[in-house]
Every structure is written in structure tokens, then in C-alpha cells.
Structure 1
């Protein structure tokens, strides 16, 4: 029999699964709703951008509005709203309605994932907080293995609207489960909602967010064009692209589990540095692999492994955010959505300039190296502040 803590984590992970399915499946559904609505694919791309904009706007907004709510009710409300907006995307006609509902569906994204990770981390011993964070991230990575292919199959087989209806239903189920099994913890006494804004004035928080916004852009630069590059440069079988996308999800699942343990062993900065060096290497390999679909599937798996970098960044934010924990956690996911905009945009410029499909990997390497520079600035700031988390553990390998 599962205990309440495990059931609560599973309910939160289901919500993360619904969010991951909706966010990533929308990219695969784009050709189908573009054709159905009679618009070009670049025009349909605004629907994807609307969701990312919703995440960035919603992260600070939901943190302030939900500051006085118990986490259980806050999380259930966010994922229920997410579910309703996805169902609205599936039901309402026209491009304007789809764009608006995708923006609204993005609003709860950062708040839900960020506070879910805080709740899971708080349930673990201090030195194992990374494992709590990884448990919620499992929902996102498993979404790439199972949820995204299923939504894509529904969209291709019986209509793109079903691809949005699936995460909508899952979101509502998660909301009910969270209300039933999540621990009933009251609001901290004396909490002031606007105090959450202090995270946006904290240099340690801002530098950590910059690492994710820049460094993760490299991963998205490659991932966003992986399918198109495989179709354009190889004679891969029909199941080649779904296999690559699932391989990315498997790599992400294993990467999150592994990086969580390495963060406990090595510390936040050493782990983040090694993760970003690994990401740069995998992006260079992805550039080399273009033209060979088997190598591209392998590169997708390796790219997924590097996505575990979110864990040392999330635990770093827990240490430096002070009373603005919810805001910092939510803004971490807003930073990753900024990376999701920055990386594909720069890679698209390289492709438009005629540099070829290999250029997305080179853009990725450049962004990962820039992220390492940002990480170095964050480490120097921590060192000047004499922050104990900036110290390299003695058992960290050379």
C-alpha cells in the first residue's frame, strides 16, 4: 500500500505529465491544425509562442496571487485551470480562440511545476532535495516517452483537437487527486504576497535564472529542428522520428535521476558545470550526426541525458530565494521557456542564412558555452557573498 507522501508525489507528477504532453505535443500537432485552420505553418507557430508567453507572464502572476493559499489548493487550482484551457483549445473554433486559450493554458505552467518541486523537495531530507525535484521532473520526461507520441497519434489519426483534449482531461484528474491526497499544510503566518517579488531583485536568483535561460537554449536549438533535419537529410523509416522523440524522453528520465544523485554528491555548481559541458558535447555530436538517422536517434537520447541540469539550478534557487521560494521556483520554468524561444530563434536564423541543418548543433554549442559563462558569474557572486553552497565538496572528483 502506497503511503500518502508517495501518492501526493504521483498526483503532482501526473500534473507535470499533462503539462509536458500539452507543451511538446503542440509542436507535433502544428502541421495538422495549420492545415485545418487554413493558415501557414509560420502563422501557426504563433500558437506555440503564445503558450511560452503565457508561461513567462504567469510565473510571477500566479506566485503573487497564490501566496496566501495553502499549497494543496493552489496546485489543484492551477492544474484544473490548465485542464480547462486545454479542453477549450480542443473545442473552440478559429485561430484567435486557439491562440488565446494556449496563452491562458501557459499561465499555470511555471507556478505548478515550481511549487510541486518545492513540495516534493520539502518531503525529502535536506541533502536529498534533488531527488524530490527529480520525482516531479519524471512527469515531464515520461510525457516525452508516452504522452507526446500518444497525443500525436490521436492528432494524426482522429483529429488534432484530441491532442489537446488528452492533457486537458489528465489535468483535471490530477487536480482531483491532489485535493484528495496532498498533505494539508497551512499558509506560513505573516506571509506577504508582494514579498515574492524580492526574488526579482536578488542577484543570486537572477544569475541562476540566466544560466537556465541561456544554457538550456542550446538544447532547444537542436531539439526543435531534430525531426525536420531527420526528414530532410535521411531516408529514415516512418517510425524513425517517433523513436528519436521517445529516445529523448528516455534520456531525460535517466538524466534527471542521475543528476539528482550527482548534485547530492558533488554540489550544485560542480554538477551544473559538468552537465553543461556534457550538453555542449552532445550538441556537437548532434551536428555531426545529421544525415544518419541512427546516429540522430542516439543524439536525441544523449540530448535528453543533459536535460537534468535543471536539478542543480532548482536546488540552488531553493538556497538563495529566501522568503520568495514560490516566485523563484516558478521563474525557473519561465527561464526555460525563454530558452525555448531563444534557441530555436537563433537556430532558425542560421538555417535561413543557408548554413544547413548541422548549424542547429553549432548554435547549441555556442549557447551552452555562453551558459557556462553565466554559471561562472553566478559562482563568482556566490563566492563573494561567502555562500556555503558555492564551495566545492571535498569528495568532488577533479
Structure 2
């Protein structure tokens, strides 16, 4: 017999977990959010960039205190150093991720959800072949207890174990993750007509990924790298970051260091099983080309929250009923994520000289950037244009697209 019971138990109080909780609680269901960290949103493991205000404010008001800097465009540096600048006023923001996450958790609490920190889920409870709750360790008091649930939601991020317990995913392979390191620095020189986010490509600083500069103020920024471990010959992301810092801003002062990972895997086949579903980065919902995942996580949470409410209202939490969430996700964002996955597999494996040519082609192609960013299908077609070997890969990717 569980020590407590809730309609919904959510593992993790990141954007996906808190938003799912807010939706379910607003519809009158009892919701418990369990966050293993002592403080929501800390330590930060994020480059902190999000898209336009109109996208963010579908989920919460983007108050001034949540914004570190607006973003009015992007600069892409090819491996040979050639710079391509695109002015896009209002394209996005660099946020204070800790305050952002706390604000989302506050909304969930105001909607009626119970949010507990220092609470680590140690396992799932199964009854009659379905997920029926969680086993919890109270890290503050060093005690164990159990919570029964009609639905359990795995929102435990890049290090997610819950979807593996539920049989929905396996551990990442070396080609399915970006190994990342980031410094927040002061004393960096930024473009005077910005703020612009910067992307630096090539194998010198970021084999299999890219290096970035995301402004947080007039002379401060998040400076980071994301690399594919399978392409680094054993060199660590933090060492690539040191090289990049010396190249980009040798006099800058490091104020904060972050290391971690970011998913680069393809979409999961299924996002739900009996009594359980997975959401956000735990579900590979981040963009596998850029690594960005905040808006995708919130979008997935809205879809998941809606399906949860319908399923609970019908008293049907079977895998079949919850699979509606998988179908809705794939029709909305998942379809593009699959295209971005194939684009990343082709683009980031190019040799530097070929990447230089490809960047020139991409940046000179009209219409490749839409209101919501790069169009993945058009990117794939441009990648294949004029190169039979790459076009063969593009055709293969489009055939495999699901």
C-alpha cells in the first residue's frame, strides 16, 4: 500500500515537468512533482537561449527579470573564419534559466500542484503489468516512501532513468549525445549592432557540433562548445572550450563553468506505456541539430498534459490511450525533429572544406530561414544539391523519415 496517492506524479521540475504539472493541476487533478535537486533550476545546465517572445509567452509571461539579453540576429563562422551575419530583430532571448525554471514551477504550484525538492525517485512501482507509482528517497531527511499514481510522467532530463525503467528507451550511444562545456564570461567584446548569437563551426573547436557565444549583457556571454564524443579522439569538451576561449576572447574572465551533455538522438518510437509517459529531453524532444530544447519541452508538456487530462477523465490510462500523445507530438514538432536529426548526421560529419562550401550555399539560399528558424526539409535539400554522395544520403534520410 503506497504511503500517498496522487492522480499524477511527475519526475523532475524542469520546464517539461513543471508545465505538464501546471496543465494537469489546472484541470482539477491532484499532481505531485518530485525534484531531486535542493533548488529548482540550479545548477544551470543550459546555454539559456530561447526563441521569440510569442513562442515563450504561450507558456508563461516573459518578465524582464527572466531576460538576460534580447537576441536580434545570428552570426555563423565557417571553419575558414568567414563570417555570415543575419539581422533578425526579435528572433529570441537569452534567459536566466534558474529564474525561468522556478517561475514555471511556481505556476504549477499556483495551479494546485505539490512541488517537492530534495526528492529523488529511486524506482517505479508496477501493479498488474502497469506503472502505478514511484519509490522516493527524501534526501533532506534520509527517509524512503512510496507514492501511488494513476499516471507517472518521466521528465528527468538528459540523465533520465525513468523511461529506461519503463522500457521506452535505452542508454545513449556516443553518436547520440553532444558532450558540452560552457563558461559564463565577463569582458568579452560583442558585435556593437547586436546583440547577436554566434555559432562557430569546424573540427578545430567543435568536431561533430559547434561552439557558441550567447550574449547575457553588453560585455558578458555564455561561451560554450558541444562535440560528438565519437569524433574527438579522446579530447574532452572542456579542453576544446579552453582552446575556443583563447581564440574568441582571450582576456575574458570566467565567472561560471558548466559541463554536461545534450541529446542528439532521433525520436523515440513510443512516448508512453501503461500508466507512464515521458516528456522533454528525457524523451529526446530537444532539437538534434542545435541541441535547443526549452520550447520543444514546453510544447510536448502541453500535448502530454492535455492527453493526461483526457485519459484520467475517461479512467483509461492504458498504453493505447496514452499513445495519442505520441501521435500528436510526431504530427507537431516530432516530424521536424526527425528531419533535423538527419540534417545533423550529414552536416556535422562534413570535412571543414566541404562545410565551408555548404555554409556558403545555405546562407545564400532564400527562404531557408522562416519565422520559426531554419526549415529542416529545405536544409536537407540544399545539403544534397550539387553533391551526388550527399544527395544519396539525403534521399535515404527522407525515405527513412517517420
> Which of the five TM-score ranges fits, normalised by the shorter chain?
under 0.3
Structure having the larger proportion of residues in strand: 2
Larger Rg: 2
Return the structure number with greater relative CO, CA threshold 8 A, min gap 6.
1
